[in-house]
Structure 1
Protein backbone atom coordinates (compact mmCIF):
# COMPACT_ATOMS: atom_id res chain seq x y z
CA UNK A 1 0.00 0.00 0.00
CA UNK A 2 1.21 3.49 -0.85
CA UNK A 3 0.03 7.04 -0.28
CA UNK A 4 -0.06 9.42 -3.22
CA UNK A 5 -0.39 13.17 -2.77
CA UNK A 6 -1.61 15.87 -5.08
CA UNK A 7 -2.87 19.43 -5.11
CA UNK A 8 -4.20 21.99 -7.51
CA UNK A 9 -5.83 25.39 -7.43
CA UNK A 10 -8.82 27.03 -9.07
CA UNK A 11 -9.16 30.59 -10.29
CA UNK A 12 -12.65 31.00 -8.85
CA UNK A 13 -15.13 29.29 -6.54
CA UNK A 14 -17.48 27.88 -9.17
CA UNK A 15 -18.75 24.39 -9.94
CA UNK A 16 -17.20 24.55 -13.41
CA UNK A 17 -13.75 25.66 -12.20
CA UNK A 18 -13.67 23.00 -9.50
CA UNK A 19 -14.87 20.25 -11.87
CA UNK A 20 -12.15 21.14 -14.37
CA UNK A 21 -9.39 21.22 -11.74
CA UNK A 22 -10.45 17.97 -10.03
CA UNK A 23 -10.73 16.08 -13.32
CA UNK A 24 -7.36 17.44 -14.49
CA UNK A 25 -5.48 16.36 -11.37
CA UNK A 26 -7.18 12.96 -11.19
CA UNK A 27 -6.30 12.35 -14.85
CA UNK A 28 -2.66 13.14 -14.05
CA UNK A 29 -2.58 11.04 -10.88
CA UNK A 30 -4.08 8.02 -12.63
CA UNK A 31 -1.88 8.31 -15.73
CA UNK A 32 1.47 9.05 -14.10
CA UNK A 33 1.02 6.41 -11.40
CA UNK A 34 -0.58 3.74 -13.62
CA UNK A 35 -3.36 3.85 -11.06
CA UNK A 36 -6.81 2.31 -11.46
CA UNK A 37 -9.70 3.10 -9.11
CA UNK A 38 -10.12 -0.60 -8.26
CA UNK A 39 -6.65 -0.42 -6.62
CA UNK A 40 -7.66 2.49 -4.38
CA UNK A 41 -8.34 1.94 -0.71
CA UNK A 42 -9.58 5.47 -0.02
CA UNK A 43 -9.31 9.07 -1.19
CA UNK A 44 -9.38 12.18 0.96
CA UNK A 45 -9.99 15.57 -0.62
CA UNK A 46 -9.36 18.73 1.37
CA UNK A 47 -10.30 22.21 0.23
CA UNK A 48 -9.43 25.62 1.57
CA UNK A 49 -12.27 27.48 3.31
CA UNK A 50 -12.83 29.71 0.27
CA UNK A 51 -14.06 26.75 -1.84
CA UNK A 52 -17.63 25.60 -1.31
CA UNK A 53 -19.20 25.38 -4.80
CA UNK A 54 -19.09 21.56 -4.99
CA UNK A 55 -17.59 18.59 -3.20
CA UNK A 56 -14.51 17.27 -5.06
CA UNK A 57 -15.65 13.69 -4.31
CA UNK A 58 -18.92 14.43 -6.12
CA UNK A 59 -16.86 15.33 -9.19
CA UNK A 60 -14.73 12.18 -8.87
CA UNK A 61 -17.79 9.93 -8.67
CA UNK A 62 -18.56 10.76 -12.31
CA UNK A 63 -15.28 9.18 -13.45
CA UNK A 64 -15.28 5.60 -14.75
CA UNK A 65 -14.96 3.04 -11.91
CA UNK A 66 -14.86 5.69 -9.15
CA UNK A 67 -18.38 5.04 -7.86
CA UNK A 68 -17.10 2.34 -5.44
CA UNK A 69 -14.05 4.22 -4.16
CA UNK A 70 -14.46 5.35 -0.52
CA UNK A 71 -14.00 9.13 -0.54
CA UNK A 72 -14.39 11.97 1.92
CA UNK A 73 -14.22 15.75 1.63
CA UNK A 74 -12.83 17.86 4.46
CA UNK A 75 -12.02 21.51 4.94
CA UNK A 76 -8.33 22.39 5.06
CA UNK A 77 -7.21 24.18 8.21
CA UNK A 78 -6.89 27.93 7.68
CA UNK A 79 -3.41 29.34 8.08
CA UNK A 80 -2.93 33.06 7.49
CA UNK A 81 -1.03 33.67 4.25
CA UNK A 82 -1.44 30.12 2.94
CA UNK A 83 -2.34 29.24 -0.64
CA UNK A 84 -5.94 30.11 -1.47
CA UNK A 85 -8.49 28.21 -3.58
CA UNK A 86 -6.55 24.98 -3.18
CA UNK A 87 -7.75 21.39 -3.49
CA UNK A 88 -5.51 18.72 -1.96
CA UNK A 89 -5.77 14.98 -2.47
CA UNK A 90 -4.46 11.99 -0.55
CA UNK A 91 -4.95 8.58 -2.19
CA UNK A 92 -4.18 5.30 -0.45
CA UNK A 93 -3.80 2.52 -3.01
CA UNK A 94 -2.28 -0.86 -3.63
CA UNK A 95 0.67 -0.36 -5.97
CA UNK A 96 3.10 -2.66 -7.69
CA UNK A 97 6.28 -2.69 -5.62
CA UNK A 98 8.36 -1.57 -8.62
CA UNK A 99 6.15 1.44 -9.40
CA UNK A 100 7.61 4.90 -8.76
CA UNK A 101 5.18 7.26 -7.10
CA UNK A 102 4.42 10.59 -8.77
CA UNK A 103 2.97 13.18 -6.43
CA UNK A 104 1.20 15.72 -8.65
CA UNK A 105 1.06 19.44 -7.90
CA UNK A 106 -0.61 21.53 -10.61
CA UNK A 107 -1.27 25.20 -11.26
CA UNK A 108 -0.41 27.47 -8.29
CA UNK A 109 -0.14 24.42 -6.02
CA UNK A 110 3.12 23.47 -7.77
CA UNK A 111 4.95 25.79 -5.39
CA UNK A 112 3.74 23.83 -2.34
CA UNK A 113 6.03 20.85 -2.92
CA UNK A 114 8.37 21.43 -5.88
CA UNK A 115 10.49 18.54 -4.58
CA UNK A 116 7.53 16.16 -5.09
CA UNK A 117 6.46 17.33 -8.52
CA UNK A 118 8.41 14.55 -10.20
CA UNK A 119 8.45 10.74 -9.89
CA UNK A 120 9.68 9.53 -6.53
CA UNK A 121 11.67 6.29 -6.54
CA UNK A 122 9.94 3.85 -4.21
CA UNK A 123 13.18 2.39 -2.88
CA UNK A 124 14.59 5.83 -2.07
CA UNK A 125 11.53 6.75 -0.06
CA UNK A 126 11.74 3.43 1.84
CA UNK A 127 15.41 4.11 2.62
CA UNK A 128 14.51 7.55 3.94
CA UNK A 129 11.82 6.11 6.20
CA UNK A 130 14.13 3.42 7.52
CA UNK A 131 16.91 5.93 8.23
CA UNK A 132 14.50 8.04 10.31
CA UNK A 133 13.41 5.13 12.48
Structure 2
Protein backbone atom coordinates (compact mmCIF):
# COMPACT_ATOMS: atom_id res chain seq x y z
CA UNK A 1 0.00 0.00 0.00
CA UNK A 2 1.40 3.39 -1.05
CA UNK A 3 1.58 6.21 1.52
CA UNK A 4 0.29 9.38 -0.17
CA UNK A 5 0.30 11.51 2.97
CA UNK A 6 2.14 14.81 2.93
CA UNK A 7 4.80 15.26 5.58
CA UNK A 8 4.70 18.93 6.54
CA UNK A 9 7.59 20.56 8.37
CA UNK A 10 7.99 23.90 10.15
CA UNK A 11 10.88 25.93 8.71
CA UNK A 12 12.15 29.46 9.33
CA UNK A 13 13.51 32.28 7.20
CA UNK A 14 15.67 35.07 8.61
CA UNK A 15 15.99 38.50 7.13
CA UNK A 16 17.39 41.89 8.02
CA UNK A 17 17.88 45.32 6.54
CA UNK A 18 18.71 48.86 7.59
CA UNK A 19 16.72 52.04 7.11
CA UNK A 20 18.37 55.31 6.16
CA UNK A 21 16.59 57.16 8.98
CA UNK A 22 13.80 56.90 11.54
CA UNK A 23 10.89 57.90 9.33
CA UNK A 24 7.74 56.16 8.11
CA UNK A 25 8.90 56.51 4.50
CA UNK A 26 12.38 55.08 5.12
CA UNK A 27 11.07 52.15 7.17
CA UNK A 28 8.28 51.44 4.66
CA UNK A 29 10.80 51.38 1.80
CA UNK A 30 13.14 48.82 3.40
CA UNK A 31 10.45 46.59 4.93
CA UNK A 32 8.66 46.41 1.57
CA UNK A 33 11.94 45.65 -0.20
CA UNK A 34 12.85 42.94 2.35
CA UNK A 35 9.45 41.23 2.29
CA UNK A 36 9.41 41.22 -1.51
CA UNK A 37 12.89 39.65 -1.64
CA UNK A 38 12.03 37.02 1.00
CA UNK A 39 8.81 36.06 -0.79
CA UNK A 40 10.38 35.85 -4.24
CA UNK A 41 13.69 34.18 -3.28
CA UNK A 42 11.89 31.52 -1.22
CA UNK A 43 8.75 31.01 -3.33
CA UNK A 44 6.94 31.69 -0.06
CA UNK A 45 3.22 30.95 -0.01
CA UNK A 46 1.58 33.40 2.41
CA UNK A 47 -1.00 30.73 3.30
CA UNK A 48 1.80 28.58 4.76
CA UNK A 49 3.15 31.29 7.09
CA UNK A 50 2.68 30.52 10.78
CA UNK A 51 3.89 33.87 12.13
CA UNK A 52 6.40 36.67 11.62
CA UNK A 53 8.37 38.50 14.30
CA UNK A 54 10.04 41.80 13.50
CA UNK A 55 12.65 43.32 15.78
CA UNK A 56 13.97 46.85 15.47
CA UNK A 57 16.87 48.64 17.09
CA UNK A 58 15.95 51.25 19.67
CA UNK A 59 16.54 54.12 17.24
CA UNK A 60 13.49 53.11 15.14
CA UNK A 61 10.05 54.09 16.41
CA UNK A 62 8.31 55.95 13.56
CA UNK A 63 6.15 52.97 12.49
CA UNK A 64 5.71 49.27 13.23
CA UNK A 65 7.24 47.04 10.52
CA UNK A 66 4.31 44.65 11.05
CA UNK A 67 1.88 47.42 10.06
CA UNK A 68 3.74 47.73 6.76
CA UNK A 69 3.88 43.96 6.17
CA UNK A 70 0.16 43.67 6.95
CA UNK A 71 -0.58 45.87 3.93
CA UNK A 72 0.99 43.33 1.54
CA UNK A 73 -1.44 41.27 -0.54
CA UNK A 74 -2.93 38.43 1.56
CA UNK A 75 -0.84 39.30 4.65
CA UNK A 76 -3.79 40.75 6.61
CA UNK A 77 -4.41 37.40 8.37
CA UNK A 78 -0.76 36.54 9.12
CA UNK A 79 0.08 36.80 12.84
CA UNK A 80 2.69 39.57 13.08
CA UNK A 81 4.63 40.84 16.10
CA UNK A 82 7.00 43.77 16.61
CA UNK A 83 9.61 43.80 19.38
CA UNK A 84 12.60 45.94 20.25
CA UNK A 85 15.94 44.25 19.58
CA UNK A 86 18.18 43.86 22.63
CA UNK A 87 20.54 46.84 22.78
CA UNK A 88 24.19 46.04 22.08
CA UNK A 89 26.51 49.01 21.71
CA UNK A 90 28.16 47.69 18.52
CA UNK A 91 24.88 46.83 16.77
CA UNK A 92 23.86 48.38 13.47
CA UNK A 93 21.89 51.61 13.53
CA UNK A 94 18.32 51.65 12.14
CA UNK A 95 18.27 47.85 11.80
CA UNK A 96 15.12 45.80 11.19
CA UNK A 97 15.24 42.02 11.52
CA UNK A 98 12.56 39.45 10.84
CA UNK A 99 11.98 35.78 11.55
CA UNK A 100 9.32 34.01 9.51
CA UNK A 101 8.05 30.59 10.58
CA UNK A 102 6.16 28.66 7.91
CA UNK A 103 4.86 25.19 7.15
CA UNK A 104 6.10 23.45 4.05
CA UNK A 105 5.16 20.15 2.44
CA UNK A 106 8.78 19.96 1.19
CA UNK A 107 11.13 19.50 4.17
CA UNK A 108 14.10 19.85 1.79
CA UNK A 109 12.98 23.18 0.35
CA UNK A 110 16.04 25.44 0.13
CA UNK A 111 15.87 28.44 2.45
CA UNK A 112 17.31 31.76 1.32
CA UNK A 113 17.89 34.12 4.25
CA UNK A 114 17.87 37.71 3.01
CA UNK A 115 20.22 40.32 4.42
CA UNK A 116 20.09 43.68 2.66
CA UNK A 117 21.73 47.08 2.83
CA UNK A 118 23.87 47.52 5.98
CA UNK A 119 22.55 44.25 7.42
CA UNK A 120 24.65 42.24 4.96
CA UNK A 121 27.38 42.45 7.61
CA UNK A 122 25.36 40.54 10.23
CA UNK A 123 25.90 36.97 9.00
CA UNK A 124 29.48 36.33 7.84
CA UNK A 125 28.84 32.59 8.16
CA UNK A 126 26.33 32.91 5.30
CA UNK A 127 28.96 34.36 2.98
CA UNK A 128 28.85 38.00 3.96
CA UNK A 129 31.64 40.25 5.20
CA UNK A 130 32.90 40.22 8.80
CA UNK A 131 30.36 41.06 11.50
CA UNK A 132 30.90 43.84 14.01
CA UNK A 133 31.73 41.76 17.07
CA UNK A 134 33.38 43.40 20.09
CA UNK A 135 36.75 41.88 21.02
CA UNK A 136 36.68 42.76 24.71
- Band of TM-score, shorter chain: 0.7 to 0.9
Q: Does 1:115 align with 2:114?
A: no
User: Cα–Cα, structure 1 residues 116 and 51, in superposed 2: closer, same or farther, change >3 Å?
Assistant: same
2:42 counterpart (21, 33, 37): 33
Alignment of 1:34-53 (within 5 A): 34-53=43-62
Alignment of 1:94-113 (within 5 A): 94-95=103-104, 96-113=106-123
TM-score relative to the length of structure 1: 0.85
Structure with the bigger percentage of helix: 1
How far apart in 1 are the matches of 2:90 and 2:111? Answer: 29
Deviations 1:80-130 (A, max 9, x none): 121110000000001222310000000000000133369xxxxxxxxxxxx
Q: Is the 8 A contact 1:110 1:117 kept in 2?
A: no
Alignment of 1:1-133 (within 5 A): 1-95=10-104, 96-116=106-126
Aligned to 1:123: none
Structure 2's unaligned 5+ residue stretches are 1-9, 129-136
Query: How many matched pairs?
Result: 118
TM-score relative to the length of structure 2: 0.83
Question: Please, which moves more after superposition, 84-93 or 95-104?
Answer: 95-104
